[in-house]
Amino acid sequence: MLLYNTQTRSKEVFTPRVPGHVFMYVCGITAYDLCHIGHARSCVVFDVLVRHLRGQGLDVRFVRNFTDVDDKIINKANAEGLTSMEVAEKYIAAFHEDMDALGILRADEEPRATAYIGPMIELALRLIERGHAYQTASGDVYFRVRSFPGYGKLSGRDVEDLRSGARVAPGEEKEDPLDFALWKAAKPGEPMWPSPFGQGRPGWHLECSAMSEGLLDLPLDIHGGGQDLIFPHHENEIAQSEAALGREFCRFWVHNGFVRINTEKMSKSLGNFVTLRDIYAAYLPEVLRFFLVSAHYRSPLDYSNSAMDEAEKGIKRLYAAMESATQGLTRTKWSGAALPAEFSEELSRLEKGYAEAMDDDLNTAAALGHVFGMARLINRVLEDKALAKCKDTPDLLRRFLADMAGYAQVLGVFGTAPATFRAGLKASRLSRTGIDAAKVEALVAERQTARAGKDFARSDAIRDELAALGVEVKDTPAGPEWDVA
C-alpha cells in the first residue's frame, strides 16, 4: 500500500515496523463543544484507514485521545457555571453519540489527558535533564526549540523565518519567542495538579507525546490528524518526543484536508459553523459518510446542501442496484444460455480497480468510481430480459452483493438493508422538504381509486399534483409506491 507521508511530502510504500502489527495514534477532539463536519471528516478518514489495514490482515492498535483540560474548556466551564470536568464529560458523550451514528468504530484506547498528568510531568523532567526544557521563576516550563536541530522538518518551516517578527509577550519568561509551554503554572479558578514545578497544568502539545509513549510501541507507524495540526501541534510533538527519546517518534504522518462551507472556510464568526446534529436533522448520517468518502482524504472538501443532495442521489443509485440484484436472485427459472464472458471479466476489472485505488493512498473517490461501474454493469444485465435469466447470472449477482458487503466493512456505507435505507431516506427527505406525508397518502389513495374506476384524467391530474409537491409515484405489481423526488 502507498501512503502519503507529510514529512517526506511523497507517497511511500507503507510497511509496518513490526511485521503484521500497526501502531497508530490520531489526535482527537478538545471536548468543549459539539462536533462539526471537520471533526467528522477526520474521524471518517482514519476510521476507513484502520478498517482497510485490518482488512489486509494487519493487527492495528489504534489510539485516539480526548483533550479534557484546555483554555477553551475552562472558558466554557466559566460561561456555563460548570466545572471543566463536567464540560468535558458532556461533550465526550456527545462525541460518541454523533460518531456512533456516523458508523465510526471506537478506538482501541481513548485516553483522556487528565489521566496522564504523571507521565506528562515525567516527560517534562526528562526534557529539563537533557537541556531541552527549562523552568521559569513563576513555575512555567518551556521547551527550547533551538535545542532541537530538526525543528520544522514536518511543516517545512525554517526556524529563522519563524523567529523573524516573533516577540515574547509582556509577562512571559521565555528565553526565546519560539519556545512553547510544556507546563503552565496555576492560575486562580483553573484546574491544577501538584508537580515538581509547583501547582499547574500541562500544555496541549505534551499530552499526545505522553499518551503515545504510554500506550503504543514507539516509533509509531502512523500519526494522524487534520492539516491544521501540522504546525504547531505535530511539529512540537516531534520535537519534544524525539528530544526526550533520542530517536524517531513516528514513521508516517498522515493528514486529512480541510472542509469548506459553500466555498468558505468554516467559522463561527462567519455564521457558517455546521455541527453534525445540524446535518443529521436534514440528512441520514450514512449519506454524510458517503459524501465524506466520495473525495480523496487529502483534497479540500466543499460542503453544501447541493453537494449533499448529489451524495444522496449517488448512494441511492448504489442501494437500488443492490436491491435489484437481490430481487434478481428470486427468479426460479433460468435459461440454459450462458452469460457472455465479458460481464464477468468486466466485474473482475472493476474489482481490481477498487483494490488498487484503496491501496493508492486510500483513494476512496476512485474506488467509488469502480463501485458505480459495478452497479451499471449489474443494471445492464438485469434490464436485458435475455441476460437476466442466463444460467450463470445468479453467480454474477451474488458476487456483486458479496463485493458490496466487503466494501461496506471498509468504507462504512452500504451496510444497511436496502429497504431500511430507502425508508430512512424517505423520512429524512420528508423532514427536509416539509412535505405532508398524510396529504400524500390521501392523494395516492385517491389516484388508485380513480385508476380502478378508469378515471384516467383524474388519475393523471393527481400525479401532476403530486409531482408539483415534489413526489414521484411508481406503480408496481404490489401497488403504488411513492417517494420524494
For the residues 143-156, what does the mean pLDDT come to? 96
What length does the chain have?
485
The residues pairing with 63 across neighbouring beta strands, listed in sequence order, are 25, 109
Does position 150 have pLDDT exceeding 70, yes or no? yes
Does position 165 have pLDDT exceeding 70, yes or no? no
For the residues 187-211, what does the mean pLDDT come to? 96
| Beta strands at 21-26 and 10-13: parallel, antiparallel or unpaired | unpaired
For position 246, what pLDDT does the model report? 95
For the residues 315-333, what does the mean pLDDT come to? 94
Q: What does the alpha-carbon distance between residue 77 and residue 432 come to, in Å, rounded to a whole number? A: 34
463-480: per-residue pLDDT in tens? 999 999 889 998 888 889
Does position 171 have pLDDT exceeding 80, yes or no? no
Q: Are residues 14 and 60 in contact, defined by beta-carbon separation less than 8 angstroms?
A: no
Does position 163 have pLDDT exceeding 90, yes or no? no
333-356: per-residue pLDDT in tens? 898 899 999 999 999 999 999 999
For position 396, what pLDDT does the model report? 98
Mean per-residue pLDDT of the chain: 95
For residue 329, which amino acid is it?
Answer: L
Banded pLDDT at 485 (limits 50, 70, 90) = confident
Whether the CA torsion 294, 53, 41, 485 is positive or negative: it is positive
Banded pLDDT at 332 (limits 50, 70, 90) = confident
> How much of the chain exceeds pLDDT 90, in percent?
88
Does position 166 have pLDDT exceeding 80, yes or no? no
For residue 277, which amino acid is it?
Answer: R
Q: What does the alpha-carbon distance between residue 172 and residue 170 come to, in Å, rounded to a whole number? A: 6
Cell digits of residue 234: 505535530
Q: What does the alpha-carbon distance between residue 359 and residue 3 come to, in Å, rounded to a whole number? A: 8
Q: What does the alpha-carbon distance between residue 400 and residue 329 come to, in Å, rounded to a whole number? A: 12
Banded pLDDT at 263 (limits 50, 70, 90) = confident
**Which of these ranges, 150-159, 257-266, 359-368, 440-449, has the smallest mean pLDDT?**
257-266
Does position 310 have pLDDT exceeding 70, yes or no? yes
For position 164, what pLDDT does the model report? 66
For position 26, what pLDDT does the model report? 98
Which phi and psi (to 5°) does residue 5 adopt?
-105, 115
Closest by CA position to 366, among listed 295, 418, 436, 314? 295
Vertex 181: Cα angle to 35 and 179 (nearest 5): 120
* Torsion from C-alpha of 219, 224, 230, 236, nearest 10 degrees: -40
For position 377, what pLDDT does the model report? 98
Q: What does the alpha-carbon distance between residue 237 and residue 6 come to, in Å, rounded to a whole number? A: 14
For the residues 261-270, what does the mean pLDDT come to? 80
Banded pLDDT at 267 (limits 50, 70, 90) = confident
For position 170, what pLDDT does the model report? 65
**Which of these ranges, 46-50, 130-134, 238-242, 264-268, has the smallest mean pLDDT?**
264-268
- Angle between the N-to-C axes of helices 285-293 and 305-328, in degrees from 0 to 180, rounded to the nearest 10: 100
Residues 6+ apart with CB under 8 A from 267: 273
1-28: per-residue pLDDT in tens? 999 999 999 999 999 999 999 999 999 9
